[in-house]
Amino acid sequence: MGARRRDLLRLTGALVLASGAGGALEVFREVDSPVVEIVRLPPPSPHLEGERILLISDVHSKGWGPREAFALAAAAAARPSLIALTGDLIDSGGEGIEAALRLVEGLSSIAPTFFVPGNWDYWALGRGGPPPEEWFGEISSAGAMVLRNDSVELPGGGSLVGLDDPHTWRHDVPAAFSGVEGRPLVLAHSPEAFEEAARAGAGAILAGHTHGGQVRLPLIPPIWIPARTGAKYVSGLYEVGGSVAYVSRGLGWSGLPVRFMCPPEVTLLILD
């Protein structure tokens, strides 16, 4: 058992003892109680004014369930102009692959959908998951555009930059920004790329990876954040070197099925 899993077990036990049976139930129920966060951002370029972006991160799919169904229903209701999937669609074990692809197919039927890889999209290999190149091909076949240190011009104008996974050092900001004019919208799995992307001229940056800390207690910082940036960028809005950045708490969970005061989210970002 890894140190992180032991920490989560100890913390879960402490929450159960502190809050009684009713509180213990809430600790476990929250993982399947996602919310829609509505966030307004200044458009990174005039072309993107009025755009509605649905951000979904860290699904960590274990099979089709309440979170996947919620994300698809939220996307249909939100009427987004584009959908951003910022990595970790799957986890260890192969049982979530079919559900993740079903989600991608559904999302891409609603709006143009863009995907950047997360660490678990690579780490799943050898843990029941497919080789990364095969996996990215399946995501593309399901209807999403896979961006790995690349950019694309959006139909209404402006650029979208997608970084490969920063947590495993696969991002290449200079390559991704090559030929990009203006201040693009940037997708990255982890906030570990925020400051470098801001220096390169990002207008707005969207990421996940942190799970918002997954377990939050009042008045103290998150106990564990799986990023080199630590608690600097945990969840929500940040100003980073003249860029606006948003970190999603993510839709799924990692380690143990526990969330506390940190509900899973799907985010609707309105650029106005």
Least confident residue range of 10-24, 31-45, 123-137: 10-24
Q: Is pLDDT at 135 greater than 70 in this prediction?
A: yes
Residues 6+ apart with CB under 8 A from 104: 85, 89, 113, 115, 139, 142, 143, 144
pLDDT at 2: 54
Task: Say what the pLDDT of residue 212 is.
Answer: 95
Task: In whole angstroms, give the CA distance from residue 51 to residue 64.
Answer: 29
Confidence of residue 15 (pLDDT cuts 50, 70, 90): very low
Output the six-digit token pair for 169. 């050092």
35 closest CA partner among 267, 190, 270:
267
- pLDDT more than 70, % of the chain: 90
The string of pLDDT tens digits covering residues 35-87 is 999 999 999 889 899 999 999 999 999 999 999 999 999 999 999 999 999 99
Residue 173: Cβ-neighbour burial (10 angstroms; 0-12, 13-18, 19+): buried
Identity of residue 79 = R
Q: Give the pLDDT of residue 218.
A: 85
- Can you identify the CATH homologous superfamily of domain 3-271? Metallo-dependent phosphatases (3.60.21.10)
Q: Which residue has the tokens 């920063």?
A: 166
C-alpha–C-alpha distance, residues 25 and 217, integer Å: 16
- The residue ranking higher by pLDDT, 187 or 2, is 187
pLDDT at 76: 97
Percent of all residues in the chain with a pLDDT value above 90, rounded to a whole number: 75
CB neighbourhood size of 272 (10 A): 11
Residue range 88-111: average pLDDT? Answer: 94
pLDDT at 194: 98
Number of H-type helices and E-type strands within the chain: 7, 12
What is the rounded CA–CA span in Å between residue 133 and residue 140?
11
Residue 24 has pLDDT above 90, yes or no: no
